[in-house]
A and B are shown apart, each in its own frame.
Chain A
Amino acid sequence: MEAVIVANNLVKQFKNVKAVNNISIEIKKGCFYAIMGRSGSGKTTLLSLLGMLDNPTSGKLYVNGCDALTLEDKDKSKIRMKEFGFVFQEFHLNPALKAYENVMIPMHINPNYKNKNKQKKSIELLELFGLKERYNHFPSQLSGGEQQRVALARALANDPMCVFADEPTGNLDVESEKIVFDYLKMLSKAGKSIVVVSHNEIVLNYADEVFYMTEGNLKEK
């Protein structure tokens, strides 16, 4: 299968902590990856390197065959906008915008979107996560789980090729959890790459490949 992201010998050093220690990994098209491990083992740090949110201390990163670390900030932003979707522990929803407007935030900088389609697409996405009736609500009127699902819908707004999720189900009840994982699985079947960091054992039922992290080292199960 085609590799979308290739990481070679990634190292991330924080003062005296080596959060990521010489990790090499390939993220392939249509594959669902689960990264598990103890708190502080470096999962989030690895995700931030793969997602081009942070620069490694050393190592190489290729996205779509192109050397990602030599790119300028502007081009990195472009790749993140077009190719990546992110779901974080913190939702960072804009409290002054309604749910569907939050989902639209990434669409506004995507030149491929026509104005009319933005709202329709964002409501459709919310519908997928069972928020059809709540699309018009402000974040403060939504439960934590509902907010997380809005953030998920936002991550998918630009139809990314790869979705990075850090504890995406941390705030969800079992039922919502299932909706989220089912949807991510469906996306991976449709050819997208999914990278999920989770403590939740349920993810094992969905993942094509499972990795364990310990003190900055990655081991495939």
Chain B
Amino acid sequence: MKTNYYISLALTNLLRRKRASIVNILMITISLTILLLTTTLNSSLSKYIDEYLYNSLDYRTLIINTFKLQPNVKETIVNIVNSDDNIVEFNEELFGIVTEVNSIETLNTESDSKSNFKKLILKSRKNQYENIVVAGEFFDTTDVNVGIIPKKFYPDTTFQIDYSKEKVDFIDGESLIGKTITLKYFARDYSSNEMSIIKEFSYSFKVVGVYDIVPNHFYPYNVIIPFNDLKEIYTNIEQHNIGLAEDFNISYSVIVDNQKNVENVITKLNNKGFVVNRAAVLGPIGEISKYILYSGNILGLIILITSLINLTLTMIQSMKKRTGEIGLMKAIGYNNQNLTIIASFEAVIIGIISFIISCIILLGFIVFFRWGIANYGSMYVQAIKVRTNLSLILQTAIISIIVPLLGSIYAMRYAIKISPKVALSKGRENN
């Protein structure tokens, strides 16, 4: 087949300018690798953000703060909620309450680790957490003194979400199913400087199930208890607290069906005069992801353009060197189409080699990233699956062919212009 000939001729010609070919391949490889790498990282992060952050309940939950003295507040909100198909739930919002851990059945909280196991936060919403249980079961709304805890449980509110692997020993939440945890909480005098304790209360609950904190973007110290239990705790505290304003806020929460509709709902509520906050916002990870994409693409494109220019120059120089040879080929019957194919094969082979090398490098990076994340990433980071996808690979493959072809256009035009007559003359230029 002729193709074989073109390929072998292209390879021989590339080997004739070994150093230039290596530089061409190197530059294109670098730019392709950067493009592949940044798009891969960005798509992995975007997927993570979509699946774990945007999709989490809190990201779609809006908190509406109102004043007790405001008239018909609830009715107004209910009207909005009923008229909007995108709002799937509406509840009174009870914010999480910090409690101190008294005891955890079977664990000796005093001696195990003095500084840890101090505080956890009780959370509840009327019925929106139901499907988050991964082991055990969720409680009924009428149940009392039950709770679900994180699978990786760490009752210490000083815990911070970080990128690097947590340096703490989590308690296996599943091992506590059926066990009872006892907590204490306080009413305080907020007018005093040290916010002194007025009254101590106790609350205990039986662990009935565990949930995964990562997809919900919770903390290892968040415990979910029945709404009525939390409401009672609120009442106890409010009754005895001193020094807080009488027109204490009531907050409501609405859940939007899809994160795409969240902005619309916020605008709608704002227009009715409500102050609205998201229950959760996208942290720096969204910025990081964008930053990687933009800076990577810009860098990749700059290098790509440089390598395009470099390749163009190399190919023209090589064609000029081969003027006599090409003139001879024309004299013995090679037509412009044949010569165009020869030039484009040289270019495409450079592209294909660069593409293959960059895919191998990408594979190495993916393996490296996965290893790093598995060994050094926090549990949140571990939810990031670094993987590329076929469309990115295909895009890059197309770039790897098109760019060298562009780079060979000038060389082709030069080759086409060469007259077969130049084969006849030694030093004489064709006219």
Contacts and interface: CB of A to CB of B under 8 A. Distances in A.
Interface of A: 14, 44, 47-48, 51, 53-54, 73-74, 77-82, 84-86, 88-90, 92-97, 105-106, 108-110, 115, 154-155, 158, 166
Contacts, number: 84
A80 B426 contact: no
Interface in B161-218: none
B333 A80 contact: yes
B425 A106 contact: no
Interface residues of B, number: 29
B388 interface: no
Given A74-B335, A92-B325, A108 B424 contact: no
Nearest to A89: B426
Nearest to A107: B5
30 contacts: A14-B431, A44-B424, A44-B425, A48-B424, A53-B331, A53-B421, A54-B419, A73-B336, A74-B337, A77-B330, A77-B334, A78-B335, A81-B332, A81-B333, A82-B333, A84-B333, A85-B332, A86-B328, A86-B423, A88-B328, A88-B331, A88-B423, A88-B424, A90-B324, A90-B423, A90-B425, A92-B328, A109-B333, A109-B334, A109-B338
A86 to B, nearest CB: 5
A154 B426 CA distance: 19
Contacts of B431: 14
Contacts of B330: 77
Interface string B407-428: 0000000000001110111100
Given A54-B421, A86-B423, A108 B332 contact: no
Given A73-B336, A86-B332, A80 B16 contact: no
A39 B317 CA distance: 32
A212 to B, nearest CB: 20
B295 to A, nearest CB: 42
A92 B423 contact: yes
A89 B425 CA distance: 8
Contacts of A89: 424, 426
Given A88-B328, A97-B12, A108-B5, A48 B421 contact: yes
B329 interface: yes
Contacts of B333: 77-82, 84, 106, 109-110, 158
Contacts of A54: 419-421
A160 B24 CA distance: 40
A96 B419 contact: no
Given A94-B325, A96-B15, A105-B332, A80 B420 contact: yes
B12 A80 contact: no
Nearest to A47: B424
Nearest 3 interchain pairs by C-beta: A81-B333, A92-B328, A77-B335
Interface string B52-79: 0000000000000000000000000000
B145 interface: no
Nearest to B338: A109
B416 to A, nearest CB: 10
B19 interface: no
Nearest to B6: A108
Contacts of A158: 332-333
A80 B13 contact: no
A57 to B, nearest CB: 13
B327 interface: yes
A113 B15 CA distance: 27
A105 B421 contact: no
Given A88-B328, A109-B334, 7 more contacts: A48-B421, A53-B424, A84-B333, A88-B331, A92-B325, A93-B325, A155-B332
Interface of B: 1-2, 5, 12-13, 15-16, 324-325, 327-338, 419-421, 423-426, 431
Most A-side CB within 10 Å, residue of B5, B332, B337, B421:
B332
A44 B422 CA distance: 11
Nearest to A14: B431
A98 to B, nearest CB: 10
A110 B16 CA distance: 25
Looking at B324, B334, B419, B420, which has the most chain A CB atoms within 10 Å of its CB?
B420
A155 B331 CA distance: 10
A81 to B, nearest CB: 2
A92 B12 contact: no
Nearest to A110: B333
A130 B324 CA distance: 26
Nearest to A81: B333
A104 to B, nearest CB: 9
Nearest to A157: B332
Nearest to B416: A73
A96 B13 contact: yes
Nearest to A82: B333
Given A96-B12, A96-B13, A96-B15, A53 B332 contact: no
The winner among A44, A89, A108 for most chain B CB atoms within 10 A is A108
A155 B423 CA distance: 13
A111 B429 CA distance: 32
Contacts of A115: 1
Contacts of A73: 335-336
A51 to B, nearest CB: 7
A155 B328 CA distance: 11
A80 B331 contact: yes
Contacts of B16: 95-96
A133 B381 CA distance: 68
Contacts of A77: 330, 333-335
A96 B337 CA distance: 22
A92 B327 contact: yes
A54 to B, nearest CB: 5
B329 A105 contact: yes
Pick the most buried of B16, B325, B333, B337: most chain A CB atoms within 10 A of its CB. B333
Contacts of A106: 332-333
A93 B420 CA distance: 15
